[in-house]
Amino acid sequence: MREIIFDTETTGFDPKTGDRLVEIGCIELVDRRETGVTFHGYFNPERDMPAAAEAVHGLSIQFLSDKPLFATRVDELMEFLGDAPLIAHNAVFDFGFVNAELARAGRPALDMGRMCCTVQMARKLHPGAKHSLDALCTRYGIDRSHRIKHGALLDAELLAHLYIEMTGGRQIGLGLASSAAGSASLARATSAAPRGHDRPFREPRPHMASAADLARHAEFVAGLNQPLWLDTV
C-alpha cells in the first residue's frame, strides 16, 4: 500500500485571508516503510513574509523571491501524490493551504476523503496528553535533536517515523506483510479460524491442582521453619 506523509510551511494561518503556501515536503511510504522517494519544493508566495511566520520556519521573502510559483510545479506535485492516502499532522490545515493553491492554479481540490490526520489519531490513542509533533516524538522516542526550526521535509520525515510507530511500529507483521499476498496471509494467520472437521478433537487439559497436589502443598507449608509471612501476623 502506498501512502504519502506531507507537511507544509506557510505565511500564516488562513489561506482565506491571503496567507500562502511557501514550502511542501512529501515522503513516500510503501507497506508502511519509507522508500527514500520524496518531493520537496519552495514557492514564491508573491507577498511579504510576516515576522511571526519567519520566526517559526526561517524562510524569508528574500530567500523565496527567486523560487518558482506553486503553479509551475503543480503537475509534478500531483503526479507524485497520485491517488495515495495523504497523512499530515493537523491535516485540515495542510489540506486547506494545498487546496487554496490548487484553486489558484485552476486545478481540482484534493479529496478530503484521502485525508488522515495524526493529531486525531493521537487524541484517540492518548486522550488528555499533548499532541504536538514535538510532544509525540518525545513520547515515542523519536530523535528530533536536529530540528532547530520547522521545515516541511524535515517535519514530514519526523511524522513518517511517528506514523509508523503510532500504527504498530516497524516490526508489525514481522515483515510478512511486504506484499498484498503477504498481507492476506498475515490476516489469515492471525484470524480466529473455526475448527474444521479434519482437525482432531482434543480434550481440554486440567489446570486446577488435584486433591493430592493440595495435600502435598499443605504438608510442605507445615514443615517450614518460621515462614516470613507469619512475621506480619
Catalytic residue among 150, 161, 207, 217: 150
Phi, psi for residue 212 in degrees, rounded to 5: -65, -40
**How many whole angstroms separate alpha carbon 24 and alpha carbon 40?**
6
Give the H or E element holding residue 81. helix 70-81
Residue 213 buriedness (CB in 10 A; 0-12 / 13-18 / 19+): exposed
**How many whole angstroms separate alpha carbon 50 and alpha carbon 3?**
33
For 25, the grid coordinates are: 515536503
What is the DSSP track for 83-139?
Answer: T--EEETTHHHHHHHHHHHHHHTT-PPPPGGGEEEHHHHHHHHSTTS--SHHHHHHH
| Annotated catalytic residue 150 | yes
Please report, to the nearest 10 degrees, the dihedral formed by the alpha carbons of residues 163, 39, 50, 136 taken in order.
Answer: 10
Contact status, residue 97 vs residue 21, Cβ threshold 8 Å: yes
Catalytically active residues, by annotation: 150
